[in-house]
Amino acid sequence: FRIQAPNECPGGGSPSNSGVSVGFQSHQSFVGNVDVSFQLNHGGYGRTSLGLWSVNQNQRVVGVDLDTDDTAYLSFSSGAFSTQYQYSSAPYMNKWITLRIQVVGNQVNFYADNGSGQQLLQTWPVPASSPPDAYFLFFGSGSVCWKSGANDTSFRLVTATGQ
């Protein structure tokens, strides 16, 4: 999946509320344990969101946001739990990184690998629902545009396994 957008952000400034946005949700749902890995490459600025959409709750319940705008961060969330990792934009620009979401029983694990090896960054409880939940995979990218460099933000699903 590849996003191409204008070579320049409207107005030449911050891409907030501008640029190209796109999203999709998988047709297949996964019930119970899920182990999914995504690879992302950002050639520009914007925010990419990916995660699990609850069938029972009809909303995003587990997710990762990668922001390559001027406010560079990697943010994880699971229900009421969330945390944000601040970083210099350089490690995640024009480079494939792998983000992994693993749901096992009542726990969700978040991993990231920007080329230095997979690291477990966060663990939280899975948002509870009854009956047992099923999850769709979702991907969204918002306000994508380019201040300089190649105008290519790409996404690919590496693995997706579930019961």
* pLDDT of 17 above 50: no
Q: Which has more pLDDT, 37 or 92?
A: 37
Q: Give the pLDDT confidence of 106-134 residue by residue, as tens digits.
A: 899 999 887 788 899 999 998 877 666 78
How many angstroms from the chain centroid is the CA of residue 81? Answer: 16
Which residue from 65, 64, 48, 70 is spatially nearest to 154, judged by alpha carbons? 48
Q: Which has more pLDDT, 23 or 108?
A: 108
pLDDT for res 156: 67
Q: What is the pTM for the complete model shown?
A: 0.78
pLDDT for res 154: 64
Arithmetic mean of pLDDT over the chain: 76
Model confidence band, residue 15 (pLDDT cutoffs 50, 70, 90): very low
Query: Which residues contact residue 52 at a Cβ distance below 8 angstroms, ignoring those fewer than 6 apart?
Result: 34, 36, 60, 61, 62, 63, 101, 103, 135, 136, 137, 138
Q: Give the pLDDT confidence of 142-157 residue by residue, as tens digits.
A: 766 655 555 556 666 6
* pLDDT of 138 above 60: yes
Model confidence band, residue 38 (pLDDT cutoffs 50, 70, 90): confident
**Percent of the chain at pLDDT above 90?**
17
CA atoms within 13 A on the CB side of 26: 18
Q: Give the pLDDT confidence of 46-88 residue by residue, as tens digits.
A: 778 888 888 888 888 999 988 876 677 889 999 999 999 887 7
* pLDDT of 36 above 90: no
**What is the gyration radius of the CA atoms in the chain, in angstroms?**
16
**Which residue in this structure is represented by tokens 């070579």?**
7
